[in-house]
Amino acid sequence: MADVIAARSLTKVFPGKKGQPDTCALSGVTLAARAGEMTALIGPDGAGKTTFMRLVCGLMDRTAGELSVCGLDVFRTPQDVQDLLSYMPQKFGLYEDLTVAENLTLYADLHGVPAAVREERFTRLLHMTGLAAFTGRLAGNLSGGMKQKLGLACTLVRSPRLLLLDEPTVGVDPLSRRELWEILTQLVREEHLSVLVSTAYMEEAARCDRVYVLHCGQLLMGGTPEALRTAAAGLCYEVQAPPHLPLRLLQSALLTAPGVLDAVPAGGVVRFLTRRAPEELAPLRALGLQARPAEPRLEDGFMKLLKEAEAEGAAPPAEVETAAQGAAETLPLPPPASAAPALIEVEDLVKKFGAFTAVAHTSFSVHRGEVFGLLGPNGAGKTTTFRMLCGLLPATSGKLRVAGVDLRTARTQARANIGYVAQKFSLYANLTVYENLRFFGGAYGLYGRQLRERIAAVAEEFHLTDRMDEAAERLPGGYKQRLSMAAALIHAPGILFLDEPTSGIDPLARRTFWQEITRLAAGGTTIVITTHFMEEAEYCDRFMIQDHGKMLVLGSPAEIRARLGREGAPMDEVFIAIVEQARREKEGT
Amino acid sequence: MGGFSRRLAALTKKETKELLRDNSSLLMGVVLPLVLILIIGCGMSLDVKDVPTAVVLEDHAPTARDAVSFVRGSDYFAPVYVNSFQEAEAMLRAHEVDAILAVPPDFSRRLLAGDAHLQLILNGVESTSAMSAQGYVEAGVRAFAAEFAARRGASAGGVSIVSRIWFNDANTSTWFYVPGILMLVLTISGVFLTAVVMAREWERGTFESLFVTPMRVLELILAKTIPYFVIALLGMLLCLVVGRYLYELPMRAPLAAILGVSMLYLVTALSIGLVISALTKSQYLACHISLMVSFLPAVILSGFLFDLHAEPLAIRVVSRLLPTTYYLDALKSLLLAGGSPIVVAQDTAALMAFTLLFLALAFAMTRKKVDA
């Protein structure tokens, strides 16, 4: 079969802005995608996936190397290539002031789809995407998942020679994600499309014929998903945590143990990768736990490649070393969190925006030292709930007490007990680390010796001591997030709120982040966190899933699995089961 | 060329729909001009009427009284007759009057000798009113002097200067401003709207999808300009109608010439907007650059507010570098003076040169790339 994309020693360097070094987004990448196949690009953020896609589309000029698409030189004849392919960028640009039908028509006109074919094609696409009932709705009023499906439909108004999808499912809930992939696989089968897709989800890469792993602009490996998966063969183990020991504590201890490549809570157990015999690992010996070998998954092969690449020094140094070490070595068995006093009490909480109910009759409580997760698809109401808890948004009705203070009457007082990390980096970019910390300390009313001591303490805690005089904007991503957390904790609050802290962060940085959370929780800080990565529910003591403003389920991961009778199932499946059940019930009544 | 016209039609249709659904563009293109013309037309008149003036008659001769009789029955003055200069001075200090017109005791005697003086004292705080009042007084006194000379059968050597304000016979400053407002409307709609709509597509990420289609840059640029051309022209026509019927603005040249020059300037403005949008991908920045390079110079440097002849050389040079100046010059000539062919031809040539320059720049700078 012919290659639909052939890249030879492709290099792309972005010149640095004044004072900054150049960034090499791709260096000497050689890869091929075959016609009629699905090819996946995977890799952490900053690996160069989007740059590669844009080069293929002719949206960028190369620095060096060659790239041919469908046998044409992209750099010589970009328009000819663009006439042949369809591209769905990460943020698909739908025209929000146009309706679903108008968006489709625009792209059909641009691609010159004949009127005769159009009718039949639109009907089919609308049916597949489930948008048939919404053709007259403005694209701006669609939910996140529907927008994504409409974006896909717009790229498929005609059958392209090559379809490029840049992280098509990022931020989309598992249910919509599954539907999107069903559409995609059906089209590939029926129309023999060639597809290049970049993704952060390993189970999506596993559906492709070929997988290329990019890391810091370099190609680490290319091959079948099976080849990548088996790269971790014989290294995978899983271990059951003793009762009352949160999975995250065991996972965190394993992750820092020497010789362990990766550890992650999954399906009620902790999975880990090691080249050593599991009996030799200190955390397991200390607890007398027996690990059993496990089948490798694609993610295991991927993590192994990344960890080894980083160990070779091909990448910035790992930030893993010190975090969570203290808490992990001794592995204290904390008392069950539910025995601690309730720190956040929510009763019958309602929030309405005009006629629209964003949050409907929600009740829950969070105990001291607990890690509590708010999960749900985009638009489920989790951000609204979250903002009410932080006192950023007044509730329409219901009771809301944080640290014993009624948020409806004493918002300022409650805030003194709260640390808040916003989704976007919201510190002052051109102040130094020290200046940011001093400012936030001052804003919380700290001064003099107390302020100096707190700055020193949080800088130490989050390993920022060496970087105190650097401007915040110059910090690498992981440091930025630690600085955000340090600033939120400067006044030593009892509760830390984190809004989607892991969105847009690669798996490696996410592991590090959860180690910090684990350490904070072990130290007695109560954590409330929102996320759209369902598997992160495994790190929580308890979590709640919202959809359309309603609370669908609340409990510990184990409880919820047991309730559904799906022991050991991945969280995505649990989520899909819950949402589908709720929708069935809604239709039933 | 089937592809070209089909894609152009699709893009223009899309642009028009967005324009109609997003009220802010309509507000800026049609409502803002109307508000501007009504506010400026009614409220911003530089005419001076009924200036309270203290008239001090220290000479009681009839000729002396005649000399200042022009203040009576004039729209420009509201005279108050007082007996002593001290009294008048007190009134000026108390802001009861803005001017003192004093006839000294020896006025009629010296008039016969051809050496008479009148004293005019003005409140310089209101400098614009003061200047106008001064002009009126001078004109009035000259008229008296001429008449006086004629009555006495003076010799042919007597020179009388009669100043008139041309092309604005009624001396209504509204007439002076309406062409300026037409210019502002075209500048705002042309530059702002185009600069902002391109930046909006960058911000919303729609260009990345749009670029990877068979669409060509020419189609994109045309589709972006056509709807805004129509909107801006609509706003301009509305202002013209309001100017004509509300302020009785004269239109001394054929309508076709007025519209022709306006459309040409509109294309200039649109191409400036396109250049700005190629420079920046942020709506905020696009707005500010538009403000700096189009709106502010249009108000301050084009001769709209300040008469360019009174400006220092450096400012006059700068104003000659702005397309707005040429358009305003041509428009004033067309509307108020019936259009001197030479003036209009020169201005048109200058506008065409600017248009070609900016269009060429816009084309050179707009590329279907995301890393530029």
Model pLDDT for residues A190-204, shown as the tens digit of each residue: 888 899 999 878 888
- pLDDT tens digits along A209-235: 999 999 888 899 999 999 999 988 889
Query: Has residue A285 got a pLDDT over 50?
Result: yes
Residue contact A91–B208, C-beta within 8 A: yes
Lowest mean pLDDT, pick from A349-353, A377-381, B212-216, B278-282: A377-381
Q: Which of A87, A93, A107 has its CB closest to that of B204?
A: A93
Q: Does A347 contact chain B (CB < 8 Å)? A: no
Pairs of residues, one from chain A and one from chain B, whose beta carbons lie less than 8 Å apart: 91
Closest CB to A59 among B7, B18, B212? B212
Residues 5-34 of B with CB under 8 A from A: 6-7, 9-11, 13-14, 17-18, 21-22
Contact criterion met (CB < 8 Å) for A110 and B209: no
Judge whether B184 lies within some domain.
Answer: yes
How far is residue A134 from each of residues A107, A573, B14, measured CA to CA in Å?
A: 18, 28, 19
Per residue in A12-26, pLDDT (tens digit) is 988 876 666 777 888
Listed by number, the residues of chain B in 204-263 with a beta carbon closer than 8 Å to a beta carbon of chain A are 204-216
On whether residue B163 sits in a domain, the answer given is no
CATH code: domain of residue B56: 3.40.1710.10
Interface pTM, i.e. ipTM: 0.72
> How does pLDDT run across A231-248, given as a tens digit for each residue?
888 899 999 888 778 888
Task: Report phi then psi at A29, rounded to 5.
Answer: -85, 125
B195, part of any domain = yes
- Confidence band (pLDDT; 50, 70, 90) for B267? very high
Task: Give the per-residue pLDDT at A162.
Answer: 93
DSSP one-letter code for A15: P
Contact B208 A107 (CB under 8 A): no
**Alpha-carbon radius of gyration of chain B:** 28
**DSSP symbols for B43-81:** H-------EEEEEEE---SHHHHHHTGGGTT-SSEEEEE
**CB of B151 less than 8 A from some CB of A:** no
| pLDDT tier at A54, thresholds 50, 70, 90 | very high
CB distance A375 to A543 below 8 Å: yes
- Please state, rounded to an integer, the average pLDDT across all residues of chain A: 85
- Asked whether the predicted pLDDT for residue B80 surpasses 70, the reply is yes
In chain A, whose CA is at the least distance from the CA of B212? A82
Percent of chain B scoring above 90 in pLDDT: 12
Q: Is the pTM here over 0.80, yes or no?
A: no
Most confident segment among A186-190, B121-125, B175-179: A186-190
Mean pLDDT for B42-47 is: 60
Residues in A touching B281 (Cβ below 8 Å): none
Q: Do B209 and A78 touch (CB under 8 A)?
A: no
Name the H helices within chain B. Answer: 2-21, 23-26, 32-43, 62-67, 85-93, 107-112, 127-151, 173-187, 194-204, 206-211, 217-246, 255-279, 283-290, 296-300, 313-320, 323-337, 341-365
Task: Give mean pLDDT, residues B283-306.
Answer: 83
- Asked if residue B157 is part of any domain, the answer here is no
pLDDT computed for residue B66 by the predictor: 79
Which domain range does residue B56 map to?
A: 51-148
Contact B5, B214 (CB under 8 A): no
B57 and B143 within one domain = yes
pLDDT at A208: 93
Shared domain for B332 and B360, answered yes or no, is: yes
For the cut 80, the answer to whether the pLDDT of residue A3 exceeds it is yes
Asked whether residue B95 is domain-assigned, the answer is yes
- Per the domain annotation, does B132 fall within a domain? yes
**Structural domain spans, chain A:** 3-223, 231-330, 425-493
Give pLDDT, residue B154: 54
Residue in B208, B213, B368 closest to A110 by CB: B213
Query: Measured between beta carbons, which residues in chain A are less than 8 angstroms from residue B217?
Result: none
SS3 at position B153: coil
For residue A104, pLDDT over 90 is answered with: yes
Q: Does residue B161 surpass a pLDDT of 60?
A: no
Do B317 and B187 belong to one domain? yes
A94 CB neighbours in chain B (<8 A) are 206
- C-alpha dihedral over B141, B146, B147, B152, to 10 degrees? 130
B21 in the same domain as B142: no
Q: Is-contact A541 A372, C-beta < 8 A? A: yes
More confident residue, A507 or A544: A544
CA dihedral A115, A119, A124, A125 (to 10 degrees): 60
**Degrees, nearest 5: CA angle B276-B280-B283:** 90
- Residue B60 belongs to a domain: yes
- Of A121-130, A160-169, A458-467, B41-50, the one with minimum mean pLDDT is B41-50
Model confidence at A184: pLDDT above 90: no
pLDDT at A315 over 50: no
Q: Write the DSSP assignment of B183-229 as a string of letters.
A: HHHHHIIIIIIHHHHHHHHHHHTHHHHHHTSS--HHHHHHHHHHHHH
B111 and B91, same domain (yes or no): yes
Rounded-to-integer distance, Cα B331 and Cα B253, Å: 10
Q: Which helix (H) or strand (E) holds A486?
A: helix A477-488
Can you tell me the mean pLDDT for A60-79?
Answer: 90
A53 touches chain B (CB under 8 A): no
- Do B296 and B338 sit in the same domain of this protein? yes
Q: Could you tell me the end-to-end alpha-carbon distance of chain A, in angstroms, rounded to an integer?
A: 53
- Asked whether residue B356 is domain-assigned, the answer is yes
pLDDT-based confidence at A487, cuts 50/70/90? very high
Q: Which of the residues B208, B281, B369 would you substitute to probe the A interface, choosing the one with the greatest number of A C-beta atoms within 10 Å?
A: B208
**Given an 8 Å threshold on Cβ–Cβ distance, is B212 in contact with A85?**
yes
B55 and B25 both lie in a single domain: no
A132: which DSSP letter?
Answer: G
Across residues A535-564, what is the average pLDDT? Answer: 88
In chain B, pLDDT over 70 holds for what percent of residues?
A: 88
Q: Which residue has the tokens 């929780």?
A: A521
Structure token pair of residue B85: 């200069």
Across the interface, of B10, B201, B369, the residue whose CB is closest to A110 is B10
Tens digit of pLDDT for each residue in B322-355?
898 899 888 888 887 777 788 889 999 999 999 9
Q: How many domains does chain B fold into?
A: 2
Q: How far apart are CA B370 and CA B372, in angstroms?
A: 6
Does 3.40.50.300 match the CATH number of domain A3-223? Answer: yes
Asked: is A231-330 a CATH 3.40.50 domain? The reply is: no
